Amino acid sequence: MSDSGIIQGETGAQRMVGYVLDVGQPDRRARCRLVLDERHTNRHGVLHGGIAGMLLDSAAGATASLTVDDSGRQPFLTVSLNIDFVGPARHGGVTAAGRVVGGGRSLLFVSAELVHDDGTLIATASGIFKRVPAAAQSRPKDSP
């Protein structure tokens, strides 16, 4: 990540899909940005719902992370994510932005919106995100 708060190519999903995560905005709302091409569309030529969901989930989870530190890398797990698809996106760019709407120390309620560059609302989401305790982060991957 650079000083600007832009994270790109950090995860396999980011590299495969091509979105960029911005955790450097003063409002502490993470944003996922994707410029659409044919790799991102379904058989009807519009943004695939699974990719829209990934962008919403990533923006919401990183927004939860920003409640802990400025890096946007504090692990939070998605407990629940509900998505409403409102309109299609065919070409151009889309941006998902998260917003914390409630919660406490370990569980946060986060909403997110996915908006096309032309201002069209594509989808909304509401989710519950659980902070990963520090002890669980340091456990070896093969531990139960």
**For the whole model, what pTM was predicted?**
0.90
Q: Which residue has the higher pLDDT, 137 or 19?
A: 19
What residues does each domain of the chain span? 6-137
Triad 93, 13, 113: Cα angle to 5°: 45
Q: What is the pLDDT of residues 23-64, one digit of tens each?
A: 999 999 999 999 999 999 999 999 999 999 999 999 999 999
Whether residue 9 is predicted with pLDDT greater than 70 in this model: the reply is yes
Whether residue 3 is predicted with pLDDT greater than 80 in this model: the reply is no
Whether residue 1 is predicted with pLDDT greater than 50 in this model: the reply is no
Is the CATH number of domain 6-137 3.10.129.10? yes
Residue 144's pLDDT band (boundaries 50, 70, 90)? Answer: low
Residue type for position 30: A
Say which DSSP state 106 is in. Answer: S
Residue 123's pLDDT band (boundaries 50, 70, 90)? Answer: very high
SS3 content of the chain, % helix, strand, coil (to 5): 20, 40, 40
Rounded Cα–Cα distance for residues 114 and 81 (Å): 14
Residue 142 has a pLDDT of 58
Residue 141's pLDDT band (boundaries 50, 70, 90)? Answer: low
Residue 139's pLDDT band (boundaries 50, 70, 90)? Answer: low
Q: What is the pLDDT of residues 58-106, one digit of tens each?
A: 999 999 999 998 887 888 999 999 999 999 998 999 999 999 999 998 8
